[in-house]
């Protein structure tokens, strides 16, 4: 059977051997390969389908084995990966054995940064441009590919501001698809809406020469005009907002017209001045279902296509859905509650809330720092803002939590979805540091929800807490179908909840589990009980403040304690416990911690990641056995390791 065009490409140099007339077929094959795989494994679909032609053209014109290509919002990198030799890895997308869903230098030299957050590419590209220039390699071209409305991110604008001062080649490609993950928000988005319906290419071409003459400081551009081809002369935009950043702005041009893209890239690639190329694309292009609903198919679960009908794979009720329903209940109860998100209405569940409370919900777009400060302003007026975002994006508003929220003693409620290990998105998206970051602030309260009932109870506690910021974390996972407690008690400041008492008066060990690790611990205890161990289980609920009365009671009774958390072991809930014990002069020899180790955990299923880090039921049971074995060795007969001489045994 003859190979497809895609199968003949193991490196970009193979792409350059194809005639331009063959490239639309290659684009079709790329789209089909991506769609087929995402339908089986899940992953980012619509953003990758939208950049197929643009990625082909970039690799056709530039040599990114030497030149620099930096991605913003790395979820648009699948076509790039398939053109740089990673087709064999596609079948195991987002697993440890396969292709990461984001740029990953461990995977290929064509990926320069591990990147999963918006707004970073222009700044890192400016840094590489300056570095290459200083090191005498200024012939290395630099390209930053920006997409999904991340150009409005504050860091991206700071990068553009600095890019305008470069005295060398620099190309920022603005992939303008009219979308973020959801519909982009704000004045800049409205500006791009107007640009997309600007005069046609032919209309621009007719008046290009006269316009060029009127550009301020136009000696460079006048010279550029005479040296450039007709296409570039016609496409230079003199009223583009980013020309005020010191960039020559070109476009918008059609991002799906491969010959035009190649011609334009050839014209701008060697201009020794920073250029912004504005490219119009369609997010989800190639399939009616993804182009028609790019939000749903931004990062879908596995799905099947049957004729005109597309069915997403069903799974259990998610924490995200549970959060949406809980917020609706809160907002029905309290007219002061206001829900905010930063470009994640679908990912946080607020799209459902927005339909019911359009006047008390807001999507700010990709700007977590602004959103946090805005919430501070709302809280100052007496509103009760709840800011829903992913844990991995919460650190982008760290300074605002410090200065405008905690320092002012304002009650902003932060709801962190995707806390802990997130599965296929991997290291760029794990929410492993939120407790460590926010516990330092005076007046802050940090909670975790173990299931839907506790999520509701935690949010109700936050609604009433007014002495500073409060944070609640929950994972990218399904809520328990059968809760451990049908009606858990209300959240009481700093108090743990006994979920499973010991069978005897004094347990062999007490597990203080934080968040959904309560359920993994409960499974572990089933195994341990069958082995004759007696273990009590507490839902810790709070990382700040911790239940010091419970800790004192257990420690003074001689009960060993194991803290378990889906958070980095450094600075997490277990660290809070140790520090509280130290501050209250409680001995800590019998306190043990289990959490995400201090190393990067790469893409795989969440189930596999929990097993890898020892945070599944089997890992927790193993840790308990080790603790109890060590305790027995200290109070019983000396334990002699096989093959090791024991001086203690001789005594």
CATH number at residue 574: 3.40.50.920
- Alpha carbon 268 to chain centroid, angstroms: 33
Say if residues 26 and 262 touch (Cβ distance below 8 Å). Answer: no
- Alpha carbon 432 to chain centroid, angstroms: 12
Residues of the chain scoring pLDDT < 50:
180-181, 191, 194-218, 634-651
Per-residue confidence (pLDDT) for residue 311, from 0 to 100: 83
- Of 105, 12, 17, 21, the closest CA to residue 59 belongs to 12
* Whether residue 456 is found in the same domain as residue 530: no
Per-residue confidence (pLDDT) for residue 527, from 0 to 100: 97
Say if residues 32 and 40 touch (Cβ distance below 8 Å). Answer: no
Domain assignment present for 153 = yes
* Whether residue 341 is found in the same domain as residue 459: yes
| Cis amide leading into 353 (omega within 30) | no
Say if residues 89 and 62 touch (Cβ distance below 8 Å). Answer: no
Per-residue confidence (pLDDT) for residue 637, from 0 to 100: 38
The CATH number that applies at residue 200 is 3.40.50.970
Catalytic amino acids?
Answer: 283, 368, 396
- Of 440, 444, 445, the closest CA to residue 492 belongs to 445
* Whether residue 332 is found in the same domain as residue 425: yes
Q: Which helix (H) or strand (E) holds 30?
A: helix 23-41
* Whether residue 283 is found in the same domain as residue 432: no
Q: Is 433 helix (H, G, I), strand (E, B) or coil?
A: coil
Domain assignment present for 605 = yes
Domain assignment present for 648 = no
| Cis amide leading into 545 (omega within 30) | yes
* Whether residue 149 is found in the same domain as residue 242: yes
Per-residue confidence (pLDDT) for residue 632, from 0 to 100: 65
Per-residue confidence (pLDDT) for residue 230, from 0 to 100: 63
* Whether residue 525 is found in the same domain as residue 437: no
Domain assignment present for 245 = yes
**Tally of CB atoms within 10 A around 442:** 9
**Tally of CB atoms within 10 A around 550:** 18
Q: Tens digits of per-residue pLDDT, 203-220?
A: 433 444 444 444 444 455
* Whether residue 543 is found in the same domain as residue 422: no
Domain assignment present for 491 = no
Number of domains in the chain: 3
- Of 316, 324, 317, the closest CA to residue 459 belongs to 324
* Whether residue 461 is found in the same domain as residue 375: yes
Domain assignment present for 307 = no
* Whether residue 449 is found in the same domain as residue 533: no
Q: Is 623 helix (H, G, I), strand (E, B) or coil?
A: helix
Domain assignment present for 24 = no
* Whether residue 115 is found in the same domain as residue 215: yes
* Whether residue 469 is found in the same domain as residue 504: no
Domain assignment present for 354 = yes
* Whether residue 371 is found in the same domain as residue 459: yes
- Alpha carbon 228 to chain centroid, angstroms: 41
Range of the domain at 576: 497-635
Per-residue confidence (pLDDT) for residue 414, from 0 to 100: 98
């Amino acid at each position: 059977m003859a190979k497809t065009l895609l199968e003949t490409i193991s490196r970009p140099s193979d792409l350059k051997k194809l005639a331009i007339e063959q490239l639309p077929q290659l684009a079709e094959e790329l789209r089909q390969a991506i769609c087929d795989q995402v339908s089986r494994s899940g992953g980012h679909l619509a953003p990758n389908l939208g950049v197929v032609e643009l990625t082909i053209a970039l690799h056709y014109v530039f040599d990114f084995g030497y030149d620099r290509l930096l991605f913003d919002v790395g979820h648009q990198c699948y076509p790039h990966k398939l053109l740089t030799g990673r087709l064999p890895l596609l079948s195991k997308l987002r697993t440890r054995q396969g292709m990461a869903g984001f740029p990953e230098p461990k995977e290929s030299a064509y990926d320069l940064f591990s990147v999963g957050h918006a707004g970073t590419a222009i700044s890192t590209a400016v840094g590489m441009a300056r570095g290459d220039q200083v090191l005498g390699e200024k012939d290395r071209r630099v390209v930053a590919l920006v997409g999904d409305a991340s150009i409005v991110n504050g860091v991206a604008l700071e990068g553009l501001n600095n890019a305008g001062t470069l005295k060398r080649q620099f190309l920022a490609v603005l992939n303008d698809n009219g979308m973020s993950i959801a519909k982009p928000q704000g004045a800049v988005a409205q500006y791009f809406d107007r640009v997309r319906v600007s005069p046609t290419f032919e209309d621009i071409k007719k008046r290009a020469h006269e316009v060029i003459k009127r550009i301020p400081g136009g000696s460079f551009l006048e010279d550029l005009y005479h040296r450039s081809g007709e296409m570039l002369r016609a496409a230079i935009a003199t009223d583009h907002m980013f020309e005020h950043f010191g960039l020559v702005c070109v476009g918008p041009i059609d991002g799906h017209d491969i010959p035009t893209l190649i011609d334009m890239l050839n014209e701008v690639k060697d201009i020794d001045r920073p250029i912004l190329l504005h490219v119009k694309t369609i997010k989800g292009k190639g399939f009616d279902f993804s182009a028609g609903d790019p939000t749903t198919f931004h990062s879908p679960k596995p799905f099947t296509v049957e004729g005109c009908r597309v069915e997403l794979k069903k799974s259990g009720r998610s924490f995200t859905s549970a959060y949406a329903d809980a917020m609706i209940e809160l907002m029905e109860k309290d007219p002061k509650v206001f829900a905010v998100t930063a470009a994640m209405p679908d990912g946080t569940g607020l799209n459902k809330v927005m339909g019911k409370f359009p006047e008390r919900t807001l999507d700010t777009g990709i700007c977590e720092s602004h959103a946090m400060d805005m919430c501070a302003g709302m809280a100052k007026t007496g509103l009760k803002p709840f800011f829903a975002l992913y844990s991995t994006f919460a650190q982008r508003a760290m300074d605002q939590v410090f200065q405008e929220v905690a320092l002012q003693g304002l009650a902003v409620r932060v709801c962190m979805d995707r806390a802990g290990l997130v599965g296929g998105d991997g290291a760029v998206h794990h929410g492993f540091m939120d407790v460590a970051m926010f516990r330092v602030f005076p007046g802050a309260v940090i909670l975790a929800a173990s299931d839907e009932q506790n999520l509701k109870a935690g949010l109700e506690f936050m609604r009433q807490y007014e002495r500073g910021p409060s944070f609640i974390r929950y994972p990218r996972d399904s809520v328990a179908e059968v809760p451990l407690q049908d009606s858990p008690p209300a959240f009481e400041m700093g108090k743990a909840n006994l979920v499973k008492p010991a069978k005897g008066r004094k347990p062999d060990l007490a597990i203080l589990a934080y968040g959904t690790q309560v359920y993994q611990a409960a499974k572990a205890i089933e195994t341990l009980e069958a082995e004759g161990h007696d273990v009590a289980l507490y839902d810790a609920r709070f990382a700040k403040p911790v239940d010091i009365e419970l800790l004192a009671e257990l420690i003074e009774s001689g009960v060993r304690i194991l803290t378990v958390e889906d958070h980095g072991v450094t600075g997490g809930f277990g660290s809070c416990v140790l520090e509280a014990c130290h501050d209250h002069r409680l001995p800590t020899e019998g306190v043990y911690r289990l959490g995400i180790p201090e190393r990067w955990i790469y893409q795989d299923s969440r189930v596999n990641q929990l097993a890898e880090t020892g945070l599944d039921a089997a890992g927790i049971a193993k840790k308990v056995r080790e603790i109890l074995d060590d305790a027995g060795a200290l109070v019983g007969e000396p334990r002699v390791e096989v093959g090791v001489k024991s001086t203690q045994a001789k005594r």
